[in-house]
């Protein structure tokens, strides 16, 4: 059985709407093919039938000054989930550090709606963040980390996650302004990277609330 494309997976997971009834709205934001065929994308209702470019343009008017970086040494399947979460919080950008290729299936094609940059190594990520005035904050439960719930995070920061399993490399952890950890109460050693990212982004959003989509 052939595997589904990313668009097909998104369509199955988000039923969406069928063809738009005639007459079609006279608005340049709308995509003629979507109006004719229906919109099965994983988007907010207000973006139904809009072109990708129109959605991106609208999101750009209210991006959060938050970035997310993920180390990609092992083709981590969690990266797609982190990208999807980053889209939900409308972050300014996602940074993939290490391998250029990453598993996009979990992103549910949300990577089309935000900036995803590749950095071949830690040094290039840190150089980019330094030029942009963005503070790197590591997220990992390593020795020396501080409880996330006790921390006031900078508005212009980059939450940095390691690969699933090994976590942050020593090189990147030591370059972060601090490393925060999510307090746990059960027996598992760690949360998976996708879940950790959702918690950390939500913690930032409580301190720096933004206008919600509708």
How far apart (Å, rounded) are the C-alpha atoms in residues 192 and 104? 17
**For helices 193-207 and 78-88, what crossing angle results, to 10°?**
20
Q: What is the pLDDT of residues 150-160, one digit of tens each?
A: 999 999 999 99
Give all strands (DSSP E) within 83-154, no chain letters. Answer: 91-98, 116-119, 135-139, 146-147
CATH architecture of 63-207: 3-Layer(aba) Sandwich (3.40)
Q: What is the pLDDT of residue 78?
A: 86
Higher pLDDT, 129 or 10: 129
Q: Which helix (H) or strand (E) holds 197?
A: helix 193-207
Residues 6+ apart with CB under 8 A from 214: 44, 46
Q: What is the pLDDT of residues 53-88, one digit of tens each?
A: 999 999 999 999 999 999 997 666 789 999 999 999
Q: What is the pLDDT of residues 17-37, one digit of tens each?
A: 999 999 999 999 999 999 999
Q: What is the pLDDT of residue 75?
A: 60
- Residues of the chain within CATH 3.40.1280.10 domain(s) are 63-207
């Amino acid at each position: 059985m052939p595997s589904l494309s990313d668009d097909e997976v998104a369509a199955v997971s988000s039923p969406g709407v069928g063809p738009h009834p005639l007459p079609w709205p006279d608005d340049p934001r709308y995509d003629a093919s979507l109006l004719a065929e229906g919109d099965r994308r994983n988007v907010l209702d207000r973006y139904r039938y809009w072109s990708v470019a129109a959605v991106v343009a609208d999101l750009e008017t209210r991006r959060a000054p938050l970035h997310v970086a993920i180390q990609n040494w092992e083709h981590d399947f969690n990266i797609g989930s982190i990208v999807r979460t980053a889209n939900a919080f409308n972050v300014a950008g996602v940074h993939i550090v290490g391998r250029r290729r990453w598993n996009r299936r979990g992103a549910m094609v949300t990577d089309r709606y935000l900036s995803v940059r590749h950095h071949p190594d830690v040094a290039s990520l840190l150089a980019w963040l330094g030029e942009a005035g963005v503070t790197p904050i590591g997220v990992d439960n390593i020795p020396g980390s501080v409880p996330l719930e006790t921390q006031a995070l900078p508005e212009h920061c980059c939450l940095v996650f390691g690969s699933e399993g090994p976590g942050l490399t020593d090189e990147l952890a030591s370059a972060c302004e601090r490393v925060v950890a999510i307090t746990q109460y059960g027996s598992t050693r760690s949360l998976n990277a996708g879940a950790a990212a959702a918690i950390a982004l939500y913690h930032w959003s409580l301190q720096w609330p933004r206008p919600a989509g509708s």
